[in-house]
Amino acid sequence: MLRSVIKGVGAYLPERVLTNKELAKNVDTSDEWIVARSGIHQRHIAADDQSTSDLAIEAARRALKNAGLDGTEVDLFVVATATPDETFPATAARVQSALGKPGIPAFDLQAVCSGFVYGLAVIDNFIKTGQVKCAMLIGAETFSRILDWDDRTTCVLFGDGAGAVIFNALQGEGSPKDQGILSTHIHSDGRYHDMLYVDGGPASTQTTGYVRMKGKEVFRHAVVNLASTAHEALNANGLTIDDVDWLVPHQANKRILDSTATKLGIDPKKVIVTVDKHANTSAASIPLAFESGIADGRIKTGDLVLMEAMGGGFTWGSALLRI
C-alpha cells in the first residue's frame, strides 16, 4: 500500500519574544500564576508587518531545504490555520504562489488546535489514493491577532508560529513496521461550541472577533478526549503505548500534557514539550514541537511517533507515524 512518508520538516517562530513578566506589566496576571497553571514562560509574537502566510512561507522554505527539494516538486499545499491572512482566498494559495507550481491544489483547513492532525488525515488520503505524490502540510497561526489583550484568562496562553512537514508517497507493506503515516483518527462535537470559540466572523458580526474560552471545561474534556484518541490510534495498529518512542501532543498546557501522559502510562521523558517556550500556537504547535524533537536529535528514523490534539469545536484526533 502507499504510505505518506516524511521527507522534510521546517519551523519558523517570529523574532519577538514576549515573556510572562513583560505581559504582567499590562495585564492583571503574574509570571508565577502563568507558570503554575499552564507551564508557559514565554511566547513568540509576529511583527506588525508579518501575516500568517509570511510565517507559513518561511516554515515551508525551511522544510523544502531540509528535504532537498524545491517547491516545484510539491503537488499539494494544505495550510491548517484559524488565523488566515484574509477571509478568502486561502492562505495556502499565497504559499503556493510563493513556492509552488501554478495550477496545483492549495487550500486551508480549519479545525483550530486540531488542524494539524486533521491535515494529516487529509493529505494521507490524497497520497494513499494516488492523487498526489508529494504534499506539504503547514500549521501556521498568528493567534496574537485574535486575542483580547484585556482578558487575562486567554491572552496569556497563546502565541504565533508555523511548522511545515513534507510527505512523499512510498510503497509500504501495510504493516505497522512501515515508514510513514500508519493511521489517523479525527472527531468533532459541535455541542461544545460555547466552550472555546471566537466571538466574530464574516457571517455573524462582520468583525474578526476574539478568543473566548471556558478554560476549566476545556481542560477536563481535553484529558479525556486525548487519552481516548491515543488509544484508538494504538488499537487500530495492534500496538501498545510501550511501542511509542515519542508523544508529540498539541501544546496547550503543561498540566494537560502531564495528565494525558499519566493517563496513557507513558514515560514523561518520551513527551516532546515546547509549551514553555512557544505557548499554545494552535495548528502550529504539533509541527513546531515535532521539528524541535527532530532538530535536537531526539526523534530519529524508525521511531514511532504518536501525535494528538484537541481544540475548538470541539475537535480532536490522533495520528500514528513511523519516521
C-alpha–C-alpha distance, residues 159 and 28, integer Å: 18
Question: Binder to ligand UT7 among 11, 120, 218, 305 (CB under 6 A)?
Answer: 218
Residues of this chain, 73-112, that bind ligand UT7 according to CB under 6 A = none
- Which CB atom, from 100 or from 287, has the smaller least distance to ligand UT7? 287
- Which CB atom, from 26 or from 87, has the smaller least distance to ligand UT7? 26
C-alpha–C-alpha distance, residues 191 and 309, integer Å: 18
User: Looking at 85-93, 95-103, 250-258, 261-269, which segment touches ligand UT7 (CB under 6 A)?
Assistant: 250-258
Question: Binder to ligand UT7 among 4, 38, 229, 274 (CB under 6 A)?
Answer: 38
Q: Which residues are catalytic?
A: 113, 250, 280
Query: In the complex, what is the shortest distance from the CB of residue 247 to ligand UT7, in angstroms, rounded to a whole number?
Result: 16
- Angle formed at CA 57 by CA 289 and CA 253, multiple of 5 degrees: 25
Adjacency order of strands within the sheet including 76-80: 2-12, 160-171, 134-142, 76-80, 106-109
Do 167 and 127 contact (CB within 8 A), yes or no? yes
- Which CB atom, from 60 or from 147, has the smaller least distance to ligand UT7? 147
Task: Give yes or no for residue 37 binding ligand UT7 (CB under 6 A).
Answer: yes
Residues of this chain, 145-204, that bind ligand UT7 according to CB under 6 A = 152-153, 156-157, 196
Task: Look up residue 147 and give its three cell numbers.
Answer: 486575542
Residue 296 DSSP label? T
Task: Compute CA distances 314 → 34, 46, 171, 194, 302, whole Å.
Answer: 24, 27, 35, 9, 33
Point out which residues bind ligand UT7 (CB under 6 A). 29, 33, 37-38, 113, 152-153, 156-157, 196, 215-216, 218-219, 222, 252-253, 256, 280, 310-311
